[in-house]
Structure 1
Amino acid sequence: MPSASSAVSDSGRPAPSSLWRDSDFRRLWVGQTASQLGEHTGLVVLPLFAVLTLNASATQLGVLRAVGQAPILLLALFVGAWVDRWRTRTVMVLTDVGRTLALGAAAVAGLFGLLGLPALFVIAFAIGALSVFFDVAYQASLVRLVRRDQLVQGNSALEGSRSAAQIGGPALGGALVSLLSAPIAAAAGALFFALSFLSIRRIRRVESAPERPERPSWVWRRIHEGLRFVARDTALRTVCLASAAFQFSFAAVMTVYLLFLPRELHLSGTAVGLALAATGPGALLGSLLAARLPNRFGYGPVLVAAAALGDGVFLCVPALHGSSAVTVPALLAVSFVFGVGGQLVNVAVMAVRQTVTPDGMQGRVAATITFVGMGLSPLGSLFGGFLAAEWGLRTSLLATAAGMLLSPVVMALSPLARLGRTLPAAQNVPLTAGRSKAHESGSRPSGDVE
């Protein structure tokens, strides 16, 4: 009969059957859920305040969204190098404190009538920068908390929590802005970040303190290692390209979408929040399906089909006309399908990335993919604002929604589409601050998906 200790592996990580019984994983899950709630509340509160209260133009809204996304382009690669050398718990706790203060400042500024566009730009940039640190850190943290054969289960749980945030965050943000005020909505987001801080700081499992570099050039070398690792792996390289195509188009879509709903369809802030929140239930279903469908049909077919379905459904939105009694249910259906497809892609892609990446490269690989993929989001937001101003909202929404289909096309034409039920093994590469014997001998990493 196995002993009680058999539920824990030799590495100190919980065995598959005891994942939810592990208190540290639960604390990470609660903290990430609260953090995502704060983030999704803020993503709706700031743009809606700009549109509904400050009468921001399409160009101004595009600039606001671009400012919030710019830290991805400016900081992601450096953050990946830093996170690989810091305790992820420390990074997440500090970023939660910073975001709590930033949204708290927004609430105070709003109460005193000082929450204008310049203040929104500053707050959006600060929250965006801190979110880059948190997102890279929590992805790397999961690998240090659970076994590799638990990654799909762990990612499904974390992505499920993100689904819960997508249900509550936009609906809460839209309702609070519409019924009360933007300062109250910002205060609610600050409380969620504070809850995340309280949960994550209670994680007891101690990560070993990484060695600090002595030379400044060391950071650039580690960034280069991450870039080279991703560039030489077929699966990761494809993920980067598909993510870049999607994130650019999606950022443009959302800029136009946030103008289209209140100004073209004449929806209230509450209705806008509900329409956005419908992504959450779909994403929750997608999280559940992500734990089953790849094992039945293979990772490649699931990735391509889910991306085509989730992205393609947005082509229906420009055709909507009429009263809210007709348009709101249709928008709910579109968001639900988008959530299902998007979450299937998110979980499967994260499982592929984490499986083929060694532990010591997790932060840099996550940051590299974030940089290449989401780094185009600021440009997409500006492009969406430009199109909305020049072409009109309906035509711009159709054009940008069509652009989202580039992502499944990229995956369908790559070896990633041929991935089966079993993921490739992690590459065995040297992870040092300087040149290693393997580097000197010119050895190549193995494990590319060919």
Structure 2
Amino acid sequence: MADHDRAVEPSLWRHGGFLRLWAGQTTSQFGAQLAFLAIPVLAIQLLGATEFEIGLLNAFETAAFLVIGLPAGAWIDRWIKRSVMIVADLVRAIALAAVPALWFAGILEFWHVLLVGTVIGAATVFFDVSYQSYLPVLVPGPAIPDANSKLEGTAQIARVGGPAVAGGLLAIAQAPLLLAGTVGTYLLSMIALLSIRERETPAPRSDRRPLVVEIREGVAFVVRQPLLRRIVLTTGVGNLFTTMSLTMLPVLVLRELGLTPAVFGLATSVGAIGGILGALAAARLSRVVGEGTIIPVSAVVLGLALPLAPLMAVLPVAAIPLLIAMELLLSIGVLVYNVAQVSFRQRICPKPLLGRMNASIRFFVWGVMPIGALLSGVLATTLGVVPTMWIGAIGALLSAGFVVFSPLLGMRKLPAEAQPEVAPSGAGLTEQ
């Protein structure tokens, strides 16, 4: 039996496997923040991308969740999740390295960036579903909220430092050089995962059924849980409209308002401090407000943040404070919401179904993002950037209604177990 199955569980600070996972994710999250600013700057300022092309780029980067999200979950439940994450990190590093290489050769074009974004998006599907499914296998159930808080907290620290560093570097270096730094962080994440000693035991081959049957089990689990279904509706509809709005944010800030990448990065970093506050306060807020109630409350905070972005065009003299305020509220809302709802679904899901459950949810809540990005590009071309952002902001606020008008509001304690419709036998974890 693994150490984490004992009655008295040691602190996560003494859990070697978790600490290695945490270190790798902290590094790659920082690299992702460099790319978060560098890619739109590359597309808008170096390649002269139009509003429609920016929407297309965002759509290509997230299309894999819609195209391969469901089968990826079934495959991941059959495979060693840590190994999938290692391969995904390697693929992302190799694909992203192509951008600075092509730029140095003087032949980089927009379609190259689209292709790289598509490959990275596909690898990210496998990494993210494995990552969310691996954590409940690596650490004991009662420690899952604490583990999520730690991971999300350092991710927010990366969101604070990353854009500011990226903005500063963009003042003295070209965007493709920052992407080379992100390549290095993916490789460091891969090394950290390789060093984890705990070994996952895959489900026996004899337990496998046809892929369609296994996919249907994952979808059915999500659909049959009433509270989870409400959360997925809010997250999915919210992501659709949020993507419509935020896809045009770099265009508004860099092109229409004329702010520099350095200012954009610094404002984003200052606003991201809210994420650290959210990560530190998530567990306490859940206890004080209630595990169920905190989900609709944080969803409303998220919805109230987004109108501040198009408001920058109405009050350009206050553009920087509005951008900071939006990022601040957005970061707090996202962190508190995600820690609460991700911990809930990880806790109630049988371990052999984790990959399919997470992939099913990602299919519903991230699969809408390429649709939102394409709509953003089309609407911005026809209606304009600012009207498109208003439509997205209002739609995202209304999406909170699925959890506000639900049993979650007023619920002190979320269920610890799922309904027994799906309870397949499965894999565990052993330590070598």
State the TM-score, normalizing by the size of structure 2. Answer: 0.92
Change (3 A) 1:245 1:67: same
Partner of 1:187: 180
Q: State the distance in 1 between where 2:242 and 2:7 align.
A: 37
**Cα deviation code 1:96-115 (max 9, x no counterpart):** 11111111111111111222
Identify unmatched segments of 5+ residues in structure 2: 427-432
Q: Tell me which of 99, 119, 122 is aligned to 2:92.
A: 99
Change (3 A) 1:353 1:61: same
Q: Tell me which of 161, 170, 178 is aligned to 2:163.
A: 170
Partner of 2:70: 77
Q: Tell me if structure 1 keeps the 8 A contact 2:225–2:419.
A: no
Q: State the distance in 1 between where 2:219 and 2:27 align.
A: 31
**Cα deviation code 1:285-319 (max 9, x no counterpart):** 11111111111111222111111112212212322
Partner of 2:232: 240
Confirm or deny that 1:199 pairs with 2:184.
no
Confirm or deny that 1:363 pairs with 2:355.
yes
Q: State the distance in 2 between where 1:389 and 1:177 align.
A: 28
Deviates more, 1:360-369 or 1:162-171: 162-171
Deviates more, 1:268-277 or 1:253-262: 268-277
Partner of 2:116: 123
> Residue 431 of structure 1: SS of its match in structure 2?
coil
Partner of 1:24: 17
> Residue 404 of structure 1: SS of its match in structure 2?
helix
Confirm or deny that 1:332 pairs with 2:324.
yes
Return the offset for 1:326: 4.0
Change (3 A) 1:407 1:178: farther
Partner of 1:55: 48
Q: Tell me if structure 1 keeps the 8 A contact 2:203–2:352.
A: no
Change (3 A) 1:19 1:214: closer
Confirm or deny that 1:307 pairs with 2:299.
yes
Partner of 2:39: 46
Confirm or deny that 1:373 pairs with 2:373.
no
Q: State the distance in 2 between where 1:377 and 1:213 align.
A: 36
Q: State the distance in 2 between where 1:36 and 1:176 align.
A: 17
Partner of 1:220: 212
Deviates more, 1:148-157 or 1:32-41: 32-41
Partner of 2:259: 267
Confirm or deny that 1:252 pairs with 2:244.
yes
**Cα deviation code 1:268-297 (max 9, x no counterpart):** 111222233334311111111111111111
Partner of 2:82: 89
Report how many aligned residue pairs link the two structures. 425
Q: State the distance in 2 between where 1:278 and 1:132 align.
A: 29
Return the offset for 1:178: 4.2
Looking at both structures, which has the greater relative contact order when contacts are Cα pairs under 8 Å and sequence separation is at least 6? 2
**Cα deviation code 1:308-364 (max 9, x no counterpart):** 112212212322259987422331122112101111001001011111111111111
Q: State the distance in 1 between where 2:270 and 2:127 align.
A: 25
> Residue 300 of structure 1: SS of its match in structure 2?
coil
Return the offset for 1:209: 3.1
Q: Tell me if structure 2 keeps the 8 A contact 1:47–1:64.
A: no
Partner of 1:444: none
Q: State the distance in 2 between where 1:379 and 1:257 align.
A: 17
Partner of 1:415: 407
Return the offset for 1:214: 9.2
Change (3 A) 1:12 1:86: farther
Change (3 A) 1:432 1:18: closer
Confirm or deny that 1:160 pairs with 2:165.
no
Q: Tell me which of 391, 396, 400 is aligned to 1:404.
A: 396
**Cα deviation code 1:75-110 (max 9, x no counterpart):** 111111111111111011111111111111111111
Q: Tell me if structure 2 keeps the 8 A contact 1:110–1:182.
A: no
Identify unmatched segments of 5+ residues in structure 1: 434-450
Q: State the distance in 2 between where 1:40 and 1:90 align.
A: 24
Confirm or deny that 1:286 pairs with 2:278.
yes
**Cα deviation code 1:49-84 (max 9, x no counterpart):** 111111111001100110001011111111111111
> Residue 206 of structure 1: SS of its match in structure 2?
strand
- Output the amino acid matched with 1:162: A
Q: State the distance in 1 between where 2:7 and 2:135 align.
A: 11
Partner of 1:445: none
- Output the amino acid matched with 1:163: Q
Q: Tell me if structure 1 keeps the 8 A contact 2:153–2:279.
A: yes
Q: Tell me if structure 1 keeps the 8 A contact 2:163–2:269.
A: yes
> Residue 14 of structure 2: SS of its match in structure 1?
coil
